[in-house]
Structure 1
């Protein structure tokens, strides 16, 4: 089964058809970045409407068994996720509430510090806050995966240590291979792997450097990452932004917290939306990723693990055992 650890696309029927064209079994979608509780609930309502209108192609999953059932039905399973914890509005009880609404993945912080911890762009990382520790505990209890992709190093290490379940970095790369604040130091990735976590290797140009040149260079990035943490802890996290326009990018980078230009993973010299990768314009190219891994020397079992099996193992460990609908 092919699994994408995270996308931030503007989904519509055409994008859902691309998921099916690439035989995607499961994708984690981004429901929000900076939105407060009410705005986040509005997003979930919009997602329900969108999925209902395209029920022949996709369905929302809340357990690993549901992912497998939706895949067996010839559709793509969607895991609802947020790239920030702003939807909690500082209320610990909202973790369970949003889990009951179907949310299964949440990043602790986005691009600035919040009441849970620091981001990877903050100059000082004070670590996981007291509230943050309780959020991690509640996420473990409610069956919501902890995502550390944009989270600061100290906050991430403390979250890994504090979590009773494996945690994820859904879309980033090793900083030792591509130096960038959004990428992760080796010691953090090794700690993640020791607790059973998964890193979603990304081909996003700004954090992949020379490895974004082709499917084969991306496969080399995967191979070197596997050397660092073990092939059982590596997956795909495309961070694909289909139909994302510059206004969307400005919202992701600036939210409502600043009046100054922010560049996220880009820079003043490289401020705009990155052009699509010629070898990965959309998810219909997922089979080509598997082929590139095979050319690099990955065996059949390891290709299957990287392309989705490791994520599925993670979901079986972290997501609830039973559907919230029961």
Structure 2
């Protein structure tokens, strides 16, 4: 089983064919960053069209058993998710409606403070707001995974505290391994583990150590160090791999409609634009090379299976059945 908890960019049949060749069981694409309700519904509708048009390759995942069906028949499972909660437009009842339409993952905040809580890029992390507490409880009730990959550490800790179900950090790394605002503290990773959550180790250069980008062995060693912090039952993969993202796509990701100023996202003045894929991961089909690398750094076959997909499947079963 191979589950990647976060990818983004423009998906089409050629991408689905590549994922199929790569042996993926399930992938979470990003349906939106800054979009409101209507635009977010448009994205869901487009994915339903793509499922019909590519029914021989993909299946939209609504329950954990759908992932097992993909493992059995070789289709790629598509777990629909958003990297923000703008789609709710402050309406608590919309969470259930989006869940009914197939949404299974929502990130509480993207790169900015919002009505729910603090982003990792704010100077001061406000923690979870009153509305935010209501949202994480409602997401748990209706079966949507709470994602805190771009939230501040305090907001993430509050989400862990207030959610009745385990939450996720789908695509980030440990800040003690690679210091960056986008990465999560050891305190977060330990709290995540204590409540059954999972962190997906990312392969995005701006938040990943150089040696973990240079070789698959280096990435496996980073995973092993993350396991030392969170435990082998609480670490998975969330590459943040992106397809066909041109300058316009990056500008939307970073700026949305909220600013006229230059925004670098996880980049910087030194790395302002697109960054190269990891040397060992030039295409998504190379992710399967991580299996022997994990074995090579000392993980057993059972532990490797957990990291490559089993831990995500357990979390999904717990959250949405």
TM-score, scaled to structure 2: 0.98
2:136 counterpart residue number? 136
Write out per-residue CA displacement over residues 272-296 of structure 1, whole angstroms, 9 at most, x where no aligned residue: 1111223112221122011111111
Cα deviation code 1:224-249 (max 9, x no counterpart): 00001101100000100021112111
Q: Distance in 2 between matches of 1:93 and 1:281?
A: 41
Give 1:169-318 correspondences, 5 Å limit: 169-210=169-210, 211-318=212-319
- Alignment root-mean-square deviation, CA: 0.8
Listed as ranges, the gaps of 5+ residues in structure 1 are 322-326
1:63 aligned partner: 63
Aligned residue for 1:324? none
Aligned to 2:81: 81
How many residue pairs match? The answer is 320
* 8 Å contact from structure 1 (residues 242, 282) kept in 2: no
Q: Partners of 2:116 and 2:91 in 1: how far apart? A: 11
Who is 1:97 aligned against?
97
Alpha-carbon offset, residue 117 of structure 1: 0.5
Instruction: State the distance in 1 between where 2:81 and 2:288 align.
Output: 24
> What SS does the corresponding residue of 2:91 show, helix, strand or coil?
coil
SS in structure 2 opposite 1:114?
coil
Specify the SS of the correspondent of 2:209: helix
Looking at structure 2, the residues matched to 10 and 231 of structure 1 have their Cα atoms a distance apart, in angstroms, of 32
Q: Deviation digits for residues 31-72 of structure 1, max 9, x if unmatched?
A: 000000001001111111112111100010111011111331
**1: CA distance, partners of 2:19 / 2:163:** 32
Residue-by-residue CA offset, 1:202-235 (whole Å, 9 max, x unaligned): 1110000222111111001000000011011000
Q: Is the 8 A contact 2:27 2:79 kept in 1?
A: yes
* SS of residue matched to 1:182: coil
Secondary structure, aligned partner of 1:297: coil
Query: In 1, Cα distance between the equivalents of 2:64 and 2:131?
Result: 28
Moved more, 2-11 or 171-180: 2-11
CA distance in 1, matches of 2:130, 2:29: 28
Question: Does the 8 A contact of 1:80 with 1:103 survive in 2?
Answer: yes
Structure 2 spans left out of the alignment, 5+ residues: none
**Does the Cα contact within 8 Å between 1:190 and 1:228 map onto a contact in 2?**
yes
Preserved contact between residue 28 and residue 78 of structure 1 (Cα < 8 Å): yes
Indicate if the aligned counterparts of 1:171 and 1:237 stay in contact, CA closer than 8 A: yes
Between the aligned partners of 2:165 and 2:72, the Cα distance in structure 1 is 27
What is the distance in 1 between the residues matched to 2:25 and 2:314? Answer: 14
Q: Partner residue of 1:20? A: 20
Q: In the alignment, is the contact (CA less than 8 A) between 2:213 and 2:280 conserved in 1?
A: no
- Report the equivalent of 2:53: 53
SS of 2:189 mapped into structure 1:
helix
In 2, Cα distance between the equivalents of 1:223 and 1:209? 13
Whether the 8 Å CA contact 2:33–2:83 is kept in 1: the answer is yes
Distance 1:215 1:247 in 2: 31
Q: 1:102-123: CA deviations, max 9, x gaps?
A: 0000000000000011100001
Mapped contact 2:213–2:279 kept (Cα < 8 A) = no
